[in-house]
Structure 1
Amino acid sequence: MLTADRAIEALVEKFAEVCSNEYSLKTDRSPEIIDYVMGTTDKFPDMMGGSSHYAYQTIEVLMKIAKKDDGDIFFRAGAIVIHMESNYSRRNSWRTDGFTLCLGNDSEAYGLSGKSKTHDRMGGLLSRLEKINRYAGEKEILDELKSRLKGNFHDVINGMMLLRLYSDLNYSPSHLAQVQQFTQSLPALFQHVMTHDTSKLRNELRTLIEPLVVCNFQTKHNKSAYELNDEFLREKHNQVIAENYSNTSLSKKEQLSYSEFDKTMILLSNALLYLVNISGGKQRFLEDNSETGLILLEAINQLHEIYPLEVRRYLLSMDTRTKNANELLSGLVPLDEPYQLIEMLRNELESYTIPWQFLQSTIVNDPQQAIRAYHILKPPFLKLCIQKVLEDHGIAIPDVDETVEQAVFSVLRHPLDGGRQGLAIARYLNGESSLEDYWEDPNSRGLFNNLNRDKRRVHNLISISFLPLDSEALRRFVILTTYPEWTLDIVSDMYQSYAFSGEKLLELYGQDPEVKQEKLLSSLISLNGMTDYKYKSMPQDEYRRIIQQNLDFALGQYKKLPTDTRILILEITFEQRQELSTKQVAEAIRAGLQDSSKKANGVALSEFNRIPDQDLYTTIYRSEKKTGVKEMALSAIRSLDNSKDIYRELLKGEKSAEWKNLIQILLDTADQSPEYAHAALADQADAKKLTRLSWLSLNDLPSLIRSEDNQPLDDRIKQYILVQSIDHTSAPNERLNELREYVSEDSLARFASELLQLWIQESASAKEKWVMYLSALFGDTQIVNILAPQIKEWIENSRGAIAAAAVKVLAYLKEPSALMAIDKIKRTVKNRQVKGAAEEALQLAAENLGLTSEQLEDRLVTTLGFDKNGTMQLSYGERSFLIKVNGDLQVVVVNEETGKSVKSLPAPAQKDDAELAAQSKARFTQLKKDLKTMVNIQAQRLEESLSKQRLWSAEEWAALFVQNVIMRKFAVGLIWGTYEDGQLVTTFRYMEDGTFNTVDEDEYELPSGSLVGLIHPLELDQSTLEGWKTQLEDYEIKQPFEQLNRQIHVPEDEDKNKVEYDRLPESDFSPTAFPKALEKYGWIKGPAQDGGWYHEFYKEYGDLIAELRFSGTSISYYEGLEDITLESLHFFKPGSQKHYYYSDHKSIALGEIAGRVFSETIYDILRASGR
C-alpha cells in the first residue's frame, strides 16, 4: 500500500465516491477504487472503458489530488479517469480531460509567447507518459494519439508532441512499427519535420509554396493585398519569384483557391510551432539553430515578403491576447516594416470603443514609422487617420498624396472603405445633391442608423469629423444632423472620433439660419446623461462648458433631460451663483426640489439652505405652486432680520386665504421665540406627510425640554421636527437648527437617539431613512454607538444600500468618534457599496475641513487614552496600576517599585473594590484589542506611505509622530528623510528622548518647513544603508515592518524599453489568498465583467497607475474556483479620467517608471505570491 497523509486519504475517498457515482449510481464501486488508487491491489476496478460522458466532479477531485500528491496515487486515480472517459467527454474544450491532466500542465501546446518552466520539457513529459503507460496502458495512449492527430490544427500540434513522446517509450521493433504507422498518416511536411529529413523537407516546401508565390490570389482573404500598396507588394513579389522561382512552370494567371492557401499556411505555422514547443519555447528554438528549423524559416520568410499580414496572423494564431506581436515574431520574420502599427490601427479602429489616446500616442511617438505606414498602406481610411493625427501634432508627411479634406472625400468615395453610403454623403457634402434628394434615399439614411453594425458606417462618420472646421462640407453636414428626428443619435456617433467637438460646431454654425440650433443644442446637452449603452459621451469638460454657455436653455429643458444631466445643471448653476440672476438660481432650486431624483433634491436643498437670501426666498414663494416648497420658502424668511416687512409685503399680493392665514401666523410670531411659530406651523402640516408618520407615535418619543425653564415643550414641536424632516433624505434639514435657540441640547439628543431606535425596531424602512439624517442633526456619540453595529448587521442581512446610507449619515455628526467609526468601516468592511460610501464620506469630511484624505486619517489617530508619557492608571480601589505601551507596541502593567512589566493585571484581592477591578480588567482587555487593531492599521498605513512616497510637512509630522505617544513608538523604529522636489536630501532618526540624530549619530535638527517621508533603501548608497542597519541593531530596535531590509527591484537593461513586465511569477495561485494579499498592500480589484469575473488589479501612485492582469477569477468565492495565473504588468497615466479601468491608455516604458514605484510594485506582487 502506498503511504499518504490523512489529507490525501480523504481526497482519495472523495474521488472514489464521486467517480463511482458518475460511472453508475446502481453499484458502489468506491471500495475497489480506493484499494487500487492507494496501491492495496493492482487489480483495476471493474469499470467499462469509454462509458462516462460526464466526469466533472471526478476531474475536480483529481485536480485537488494533483496539488497534494503528484506521484503514484495521482497516476493510479488518473488511469481510472482516462479509462472511463468517453471521447465526447475528452473533447469538451472548456474542461480538462483526464489524459491531459495526467500528462501535466506543461503538456499543452502553446504559441510563440509560451515558455517551458524546465529546460528539458520533453524529458519531463516523457516520465509522466511512462506513468500513464504503466497504469492506464498503451491502448489509452494510442487512442489519445488517434484522437489528437484527427483534431483541429492546434490539436495536431499536441498530437505530434505526443507522438514524439510515444516514440521514445521503447525501441522494440513492434513499437517502432507503430510509431512509423502514425507518422506516415501525417501530411508529408510534418513527416519530414518530425524525422528531420532536410532533403525531403526542402522539396516538399517548394512544392507547397510555389503556387502561393506564383499563382494569382486576389480574394477578400488576401489581407496583405487589401491593406498594402499594390506597387509595394508587386516589387516584393517579383523579387521573390526572380530569386527562387524563375524557372516555374506555373502560370501567374492561374487562380489560387483560399482553401489551398489556408491549408498550406496551417501546415507551415503548425510545423514551426511544433518545433518551438518541443524546444521549450521560441527563444530556445532559435538558440537550437537546427537545420530543420532554418529551412522552415527560410520558406516562411519567402511567403512573408508577399503575404506579411497573413504569415504574422497564422504564426500568432495561438497567441490571441498578445500586445506586442513584434516581440513574439522577433527572430522569425523581418520586422523592418510597420506591419504591427498597421495591424494595431485596423484592430483598434474596428473595436467598439476606439482608444484614440493610445492610437495618437503610438503614431506620434514614432512619426517615421507612421509616415512609412502611410506610404505603404492602400485603404484611404487608415491613411487618413495617420495623416490627421500627424497634422494635428504639427508633423508633416513628405510627399503626401492630398490634403486632409481631399483625403476625407477619398475615403467616402472609395468603393470598399466608403461604400454606397459613403458615396451618397460625399455627393451631398460636395454640393452635388440637395438635402432633400439625399434624405429621400433610404440607403443614404442608413448612415445614421446606429443599429447598422457595418464598420464602414462608423469609419465614414469619423472621416467626416476630420473635415476642416471652416469648410463648406462640414457646414452642410451640421445642417444635415439637425434635419432628422434622431439628431442625438448622430451627435453620439460622431463622438466616436477624437476630432469631433459639438461645442465648436455650436460656436461656428449655431447661428446659421439653415441649422436648427435648438435641436442640436438639446441633443448635446442631453448626451452625457443618457444611460443607454449605445450612446457615446463627449469629454466632461466640454460638456460642462456647453451647459455653462447655454444655462438658460438647459434650465428651460430641465424636465426633458436625463437624471445625470439634470444634477450637473444644478451643480453648474450653483457653482456660478454669484454671476447669475436671482431668477435663474430660483429656477434651478425649484427644478431640483421638484425632481424625482433624490440626489437632485439634495443638491437643491443644500443650496437653498446655504446662504440666507431674501430675493431668492420671495422669488421661489411667488413662482412656486408646490405646497412643500412654498412652506419652506416662508419658513426660511423667518431667519431674516426684516422678516416682518417681507411677510407684510407677501400678504399684500397673496390671494389665497389658506396662504394668507399661514403668512399671518408667521408674521404674528415673528417677534416671539421660534417655539410659537413652530407650534403654529405644526398645526398647518400637510395631511399626506402626517399619514407618512402613522408608524410613529409622538408619545413614544421623549419630551423636548425648554432650555430656559427646563419644562417640557408642546408635542406639536415634535410633530414640527418630524414633518420638516420627511423630505430630507440625503442630508439633514439645517433649518431645524433654529430649535437649538429654545430646546435643550440633551433633550434633542435623547429625542434623536430614541427616534432612530424606534425606526430600527420598525424594520428601518428605506423610505423613511430621513430619520437617520434627523438623528445626525441633533444626536451625539450615542448615534455612533447605535449605527456602527447596526451597519454591520444590515450588511450581514444583505441590506447594503441602507448600510451605505447610514455610513454617509455618520459623516454629518460633528463627533470625532463618528469619523473614526467611518474609518474603521472603510478598513474592515468587505461590502463594496458600504466601503465606497465610507471612502466618499471621509473624502467629503476632508474637503469640508480643507484637508486631504491622508491628513484627515492622521487626525483620526487616537492615543487610546494614554497621557503624553504613554501611561495611564487603572484602579482596583485602594490599589492602582501603571499601564503603558512598551517598545514592541504592546500594553503592559508596570511595577512602579521594581520597574518590571507583566502582560496582564493581577487577580483582584479581597480588599479590592470588585466593581472597579472588573471595570479595570475589562478596560485593560479592550485596550489590548484596540492597540492591536491600531498597530495593524497604522503599520499598514505607514508601509503604504513608504510605498507611495507620502510626504508630511515638518509640522504635520511632529503633530502625528511626536505628540501622539503611540505613533511615537512607530517613529523611533523607522528611518526618515527630508525631501525637495521628490528627491532625498538628508536622512535622520527620531530618538526615544525626543531628539534627532544622523546615521553617524550626530545630533540633527529638523528644519521647519521641510517635507518629511519614509526613506526607501533604493535611495541610499550601500554605506548609508549599512550604517542605519548597524545603528538599529546597536539600539536593539526592531522595525515595525521591513524598511531597511526591504527587497529592491529594478528593471533589467533589456526590459527598460518594454512597456510590459513579463518576469512575473509563473506558479498557480489561490483565487482568494492572492487577491486578499494584494488588497492588503493597497491594490484594488478591477471591474467585474460577465458572470462576476474580474481580470485586473490596480494600484494608484498619484498620477501613475500600475495594472496587473491575470487569468481571472470570481468576485464571489465558491467551491471549485480554479487557481489563477499572472499574465502581465504595465504602468500608465490615466489623465483626468476617474474610472480609468474602463479606458485604454498608452503604457509607459519600464525604464521611465520611478524607481520606488517599480520596486514597490514588484515587491507587492512577490509578497502576495509568497516569494
Structure 2
Amino acid sequence: MYPELEVFNTDVAPTGLINAAKQFLETGDPSVPRGVSVSQDIWDAESTGSNLVTDIGWNENTEKLLRFFIYLSDGNPGPVVHPHMYLVGVLNAVLSEDSKVRPEVAEAVADGIDEHHQNLEEFIEIFLNSYARSNAWDLSDPANSQEPFVNPVANLVFRNIGSRCLKDPSSLSDHSGLFGALAVHRPEITHAWAEQALSFKSWHLIATWSEIVKVSDEYDESCLTYCKNIPNDDAADAFRILTELNDVRGGKYEDVLIEAASRPQAALGHEGLELLFEKIPARVVEVMARAFEIPDAGQHTSFTNGPAYTKLFSKIRDEWDSSGASLLRNVISNYSSYQIGDLLKERLTNLKPQHYPVLRDSFLTQVEKQSPQDRIEMWRIMAETYPRACLGDFENLLKGKSKPLRELSAKVVAKERGREVFKEMEELLGSRKADSRLGAAAYFEHLSDSTAAAILKSAVEIEKSEKVRDALRKAHSACEQDSDVDSEPSAMSLQEIEAEIASLANRMKLPKCKWLNIEALPQLVTEDGTLISPKAAEFLIVKQAKHKLIEIAPDALPLLSHLERKNNAEFAINLVEGFLDSDQVAADRWALTLGGLLGDQRIIPPLLSRIQGWCENSRHKLAEYAAQAISLLPGDEPLMVLDTLATRYRSKFKNVGKACAAAFEAAAVARGITPDELGDMVVPSFEFDEDGVRTFEWEDGSISAELGPDFKLQWFDAETEKSWKSIPAFVPDEVKDEVKLLNKMIRETMKGQTARLELTLVRQRRWPVARWRELFENHPVLKSFASRLVWGIYDASGSLLRSFRRYPNGLLADAAGELEELPEKSVEIGMIHPLELDKESLDAWRAHLSRMKVKPPFPQLDRPVELLDPLHGNRKEITISRDKEVGAGTFRSRSEKRGWVRGSVIDAGGISSIYKQFPGAEIEVVLPTNNFWIGIDPMDTVELSSAYFVKEGTVERGSYEYDEPGPDDPRVLRFDQVPAVVYSETLADLKAITYQAEK
C-alpha cells in the first residue's frame, strides 16, 4: 500500500517503528513518531534515512516520511542518538560529495527540517558529530550571511550551529569547510572555537585554521598563539598552519615560520628541511642533529629520497668535524628500523673509514632496540653495506648461538678477511663450544679453500656432535670442490646406508609433532622392491626435518637415491595427510618436502584445497611451502598447477604467486625455453587420445570415458556401445578413486587455462600454425577451448588476414560457415581482440556464436573496447581516474582482479601507486594513489590521480621510492605511441575500477 516504506530493511528495523510510520502516513499525527522508542543499530538507521532521498521517488508520501523522521528526532531529546540517525542519514545523502539528490529535493529537505524540527541546535550537534566529510561545503556566495553555500542543507546546518557544537572543538573541526563562512559571518562562533582550540591538540585543526586565515586576518593572533602552544610532538602541524598563514599574508610571518621549521618535529619533514636550506643553510646540520635526537625520529621524516634529504646526508661528510658526526650518530640511532636498509644502501653510500667508529656505535645502539628476528635483518643490512665498520662484531657473532647470524658472519669474515684468519678458525675447530665449531665450519664452507679439506676431514673424524659433524661434512664438500681432483662424492651403497642408520639408531631424535606415528608408516622400499630397515623412515625424517628448505636435505640424499616414487608414494601421502590433519605448524614442513620427493599426483588436490585457505588466513608461508612441494613432483601436471597458481595469485597473495612463478620459471630455464612456451607444453592430456577418449582397465574388464566440450566425462563400453552419463557402479573402487582425482585435476586445469588464455589474449600472443595445431586443434583438453574462441590468421607484420573458429568436429570455418584451410608458412595464429574487427565482422561473429550456442570461456568479443580519438593522439594523461575517490576494499578488489599490483611502499606504510604490465608491448600503466596504505580499513576512501603509460622498467619501485610519473615526465608515452589493445584494456580497467566513484 505504501511503497515508500520499502526504505526500511524489515530484517533489522523494529516492527513498532514500521507500524508507526504507516500510521503517520495515514494520519499525519506528530505524536505518533514522537512517542516511538528506538534502539535500532545506528548504521541501519542512517542507511534507512539515506534510502529515503536516493532510492524512492519524491512525492507527497516521501515528504511525509521525511517529517516522520523529523518528529522522531525532535521528540527524543537526550544523549541516546538512535532516533536522530534516520534524519542524519537523510542529511548525509543530500550533502554527500557524490550526491545525486535533485536540487528541488535537497531544498524540500532543508525547508522541512527548518519548519518542523523543534530542537534544531541539538540535532545539528548530533549531526556534526556523526558526519565527517569536510569537503562537502561548497560555497556559492560567501558574501551572503544566510545562504553562503550551494547546498540548502549546508545553509541549514550553518545557520543553526550554536554553543552546543563548541563543547568539543574537534567535532566542528571535522567540517573545516564551514569555517570559510563562519569566520566572516559568525565571528562569535569562530572566536569561541579559537579560544577553546588553544588547549586542544589535534591534526584536524590544520585544515580549519587554513580556511579561517584565507578569509580574514581578524584571527591571526589567535592562530599564532595556537601554533606557539602546540607541543613539540605536533610541531609539524604548527609548521603547516604557519606556512599557510605566511603565504596568504605575503611573507609577513617569515621569522615565525623559520622558528617553527627549526623545531625538531617540523624540521624532520621534507618541507621544513627545504625551508631551512633556503633561509638558514649554515645551521641546517646543527638543527637536524638536534632533530634526530628524538627517539624513532625516522617515523617523523618524509620523502627522504628527495633533494633536501639527499643534500643533508651529503653534508654529513662535508661538516663531519662540526655537527656531521652528531647527525650521523643520531640518524642511525633513531631512524626507524625498517628505514635503515634504505638509508645505508641508498642514502649514505660514500662513508669513509674515518666515519666507521660513529657508524658502528650508533648501529649497535639501534640493534639493541630490536627483536631477535629484526636484529638478524639489521646485521644483514650492515653485511651488505659497510661490513668492515663492524668486522670485529661479525667475528664475535661467528661464535654465537644464532645460526642465521653465524652463517651471515661466516660469509662476511670469509669475504673480507679471507685467509688472514685461517689459523684462528682452525684453532676454533677445537673449541669446547659447539657454536664456535659450527661458526668455524661455516667460515671454511664460504672460504671454499682446497687446503682446508684435510683439516676438516680430520675434524669430522673426532667430532662427537652429529650437528657439528654434518656442518663439517658440508664445509669439507665445499672445499673439495675447489681442488683439482675429481671430488664428486661416490654413491653410498645400500649396505653402507643401513650401517650408518644402525650406528645412529639410539641417537636419532624425531621432530616433536603429536601427529607423527612412525610405527604406522609404510616401510620404505628400494627401486628393486627390497624392504629397508624400519629405522630408515626415522632416519629420513630426522635428516629432512633439520633442513629448512623445501628441497632434498644433503644428508638424506644417499638414502633417497635408492628409493623410487612408485614404491613409496603411500609413505609420502601418509605424511602429507598427517600434516594436513594436524595444526599445520610451519616447522613440520619437512612432511610436505618428503611428499614432493616421494609422492605422486595424489598429493596435489589436498594441497590445492588448503592453499586458498592458508592465504586468506595469513598463513602465506604454508601456501608457499605447498607450492614448492608440488614443484618437486615429476610430470606435466604439477607444472600446470604451478602455472595456474602463479596466474591466480599474481596480484593478490603475491608472495605465493611469486613462489609458484619462480618454480615454474626454473623449470623453463632447465628446459631452455620461455615460461610462456612451457605453459603451452604442460597442459596435461590426462591420457586422453586426440579424440578425447581414455580407457580405464582392471583385471576383469574395462570402460572408456570421453571428455566432452564442457569438460565432463561421458562413459561408454567400446565393445557393446552401451553408454552411461556417470561412472557405473560396477567399476572397481580403485578406478573410481582414480577418476575422482582426474575430475579434480580437470577442474583445476579449466580454471588455470581460462585465466591464462585471457591473459594471452590481452598480451596478443601468436603461435606458428604447426604449433597451434599441436596445442589447440589436436590437444584433448585445449581443443575444447579452441572451439569456444574466435581465432585470427596474422601475416609477418602482425596484420590480421582472416578470422576463423574450430568446430567441435575439427573443421575450421569463418563466421559464415565457409571452410578455412590454414597456410602452413609465413603466418601465425592468435586470439582475436574485438578491436581488430570492423563492426560488420564483429556482428557476424557474435551472431554465429549465439546461433551455435557457443559460450566463450571468458569475455572475448564482448569485452569492453575503448577507441583512441585520432585528435587525442598527442595526449599523455589518462584522466578517467583523476580526482576520483573509491572505497579501499572495492578499489583493492577491482584492481587486483584485473592484474594491477601495488607500487612503492613509502612513509607510514603508504602505497604510492598501483600499476599493470603489458609484457608483450613492453609497456606498463601507472596509477598514482593518495590515502592508500598497507592494512587500510576497507571502509576508508582511496584518492586517485591521472594514470600514465610508460616503457616497462623505467619507473623505480621499492621501499621509500618516490618515482611515480607526472604529466611533464619525459618517460610518459603519448597515446599514439601505445598499441590499441593496451590503450583499450587500460581504459576499460580504469572505468571498471572507478565505477563506484561515478555512481
Which TM-score band (shorter chain)?
0.5 to 0.7
| Deviation sequence 1:695-746 (CA, Å, 0-9, x none) | 85653333234556x5533334333323322311323314423124555655
- Partner of 1:970, secondary structure, is helix
Give the Å deviation of 1:676: 3.1
2:971 matches 1:1147: no
Aligned to 2:356: 517
Aligned to 1:754: 574
Give the Å deviation of 1:2: 0.9
Q: Is the 8 A contact 1:1064 1:1127 kept in 2?
A: yes
C-alpha separation in 2, matches of 1:575 and 1:959: 53
| Deviation sequence 1:835-879 (CA, Å, 0-9, x none) | 733541342232243166555544442334432233446899999
One-letter amino acid matched to 1:126: E
2:864 matches 1:1047: yes
Q: Is the 8 A contact 1:1049 1:1158 kept in 2?
A: yes
One-letter amino acid matched to 2:596: A
2:684 matches 1:862: yes
TM-score normalized by the length of structure 2: 0.64
| Deviation sequence 1:1125-1168 (CA, Å, 0-9, x none) | 98545247695889659754323548635343342133235456
The structure 1 residue matched to 2:116, chosen from 127, 132, 137, is 137
Aligned to 2:537: 718
C-alpha separation in 2, matches of 1:1006 and 1:574: 61
Question: How many residues in Structure 1 have an aligned counterpart in Structure 2?
Answer: 870
Structure 1 pair 756–128 and aligned structure 2 pair: CA distance change class (3 A):
same
Aligned to 2:898: 1081
Structure 1 pair 551–753 and aligned structure 2 pair: CA distance change class (3 A):
farther
Q: Is the 8 A contact 1:148 1:158 kept in 2?
A: no
- Partner of 1:915, secondary structure, is coil
2:350 matches 1:504: yes
One-letter amino acid matched to 2:864: Q
One-letter amino acid matched to 2:14: A
One-letter amino acid matched to 2:790: L
Q: Is the 8 A contact 2:834 2:842 kept in 1?
A: yes
Alignment of 1:383-532 (within 5 A): 411-413=280-282, 418=284, 421=287, 449=294, 466=311, 473-474=318-319, 476=321, 480=325, 501-505=347-351, 509-510=352-353, 515-517=354-356, 520=359
C-alpha separation in 1, matches of 2:322 and 2:824: 66
C-alpha separation in 1, matches of 2:313 and 2:907: 41
| Deviation sequence 1:606-656 (CA, Å, 0-9, x none) | x97x9999767656566798924432256669999999x99xxxxxxxxxx
Unpaired segments of 5 or more residues in structure 2? 164-182, 188-208, 220-243, 252-260
C-alpha separation in 2, matches of 1:312 and 1:94: 48
Aligned to 1:398: none
One-letter amino acid matched to 1:1162: L
Alignment of 1:269-288 (within 5 A): none
| Deviation sequence 1:77-115 (CA, Å, 0-9, x none) | 55444334479999999999543532563435x6xxxx7
C-alpha separation in 1, matches of 2:344 and 2:476: 53
One-letter amino acid matched to 1:1048: V
Q: Is the 8 A contact 1:1025 1:1044 kept in 2?
A: yes
C-alpha separation in 1, matches of 2:336 and 2:149: 63
C-alpha separation in 1, matches of 2:829 and 2:447: 40
With 932-941 and 1094-1103 compared, the bigger mean Cα shift is at 1094-1103
Aligned to 2:103: 122
Alignment of 1:497-896 (within 5 A): 501-505=347-351, 509-510=352-353, 515-517=354-356, 520=359, 546=385, 556=395, 627-633=465-471, 673-680=493-500, 682-684=502-504, 687=507, 689=509, 692=512, 698-705=518-525, 710-731=529-550, 732-740=552-560, 742-743=562-563, 745-758=565-578, 763-784=583-604, 787-789=607-609, 802-822=622-642, 836-837=655-656, 839-850=658-669, 854-872=676-694, 883-886=706-709
- Partner of 1:866, secondary structure, is coil
C-alpha separation in 1, matches of 2:865 and 2:340: 48
| Deviation sequence 1:948-990 (CA, Å, 0-9, x none) | 445667786565434524323434523346598xx84445546
C-alpha separation in 2, matches of 1:841 and 1:1079: 18
The structure 1 residue matched to 2:70, chosen from 70, 82, 86, is 82
The structure 1 residue matched to 2:20, chosen from 20, 27, 33, is 33
C-alpha separation in 2, matches of 1:1067 and 1:457: 24
TM-score normalized by the length of structure 1: 0.56
Give the Å deviation of 1:557: 6.6
Aligned to 1:432: none
Give percent identity, aligned residues only. 16
Aligned to 2:167: none
One-letter amino acid matched to 1:125: A
Give the Å deviation of 1:1109: 5.4
C-alpha separation in 2, matches of 1:92 and 1:503: 61
C-alpha separation in 2, matches of 1:523 and 1:180: 55
- Partner of 2:781, secondary structure, is helix
Q: Is the 8 A contact 2:523 2:531 kept in 1?
A: yes
Alignment of 1:251-266 (within 5 A): 264=216
| Deviation sequence 1:922-956 (CA, Å, 0-9, x none) | 99998788666644542332222333445667786
- Partner of 2:758, secondary structure, is helix
One-letter amino acid matched to 1:1145: D
C-alpha separation in 1, matches of 2:402 and 2:932: 34
One-letter amino acid matched to 2:465: T
Give the Å deviation of 1:500: 7.1
C-alpha separation in 2, matches of 1:1077 and 1:937: 20
Q: Is the 8 A contact 1:1106 1:1161 kept in 2?
A: no
- Partner of 1:1043, secondary structure, is coil
RMSD between superposed Cα atoms in Å: 7.3
Q: Is the 8 A contact 1:1059 1:1130 kept in 2?
A: yes
- Partner of 2:947, secondary structure, is strand
C-alpha separation in 2, matches of 1:1067 and 1:484: 42
Aligned to 2:42: 56
| Deviation sequence 1:525-553 (CA, Å, 0-9, x none) | 999999799x9999999988746999978
One-letter amino acid matched to 2:598: F
The structure 1 residue matched to 2:947, chosen from 1118, 1130, 1143, is 1130
- Partner of 2:684, secondary structure, is coil
The structure 2 residue matched to 1:1164, chosen from 973, 984, 989, is 989
Unpaired segments of 5 or more residues in structure 1? 18-28, 170-177, 186-203, 209-256, 268-305, 314-344, 356-378, 385-406, 423-443, 647-666
Aligned to 2:823: 1005
Q: Is the 8 A contact 2:835 2:981 kept in 1?
A: yes
Q: Is the 8 A contact 2:46 2:90 kept in 1?
A: no
The structure 1 residue matched to 2:730, chosen from 893, 915, 923, is 915
- Partner of 1:466, secondary structure, is helix
Q: Is the 8 A contact 2:927 2:944 kept in 1?
A: no
C-alpha separation in 1, matches of 2:752 and 2:704: 28
Structure 1 pair 860–611 and aligned structure 2 pair: CA distance change class (3 A):
farther
C-alpha separation in 2, matches of 1:1041 and 1:803: 27
Q: Is the 8 A contact 2:23 2:32 kept in 1?
A: no
Structure 1 pair 311–1003 and aligned structure 2 pair: CA distance change class (3 A):
farther
Structure 1 pair 69–768 and aligned structure 2 pair: CA distance change class (3 A):
same
| Deviation sequence 1:1018-1070 (CA, Å, 0-9, x none) | 4667788679779989999765444345432256768975746246898998x
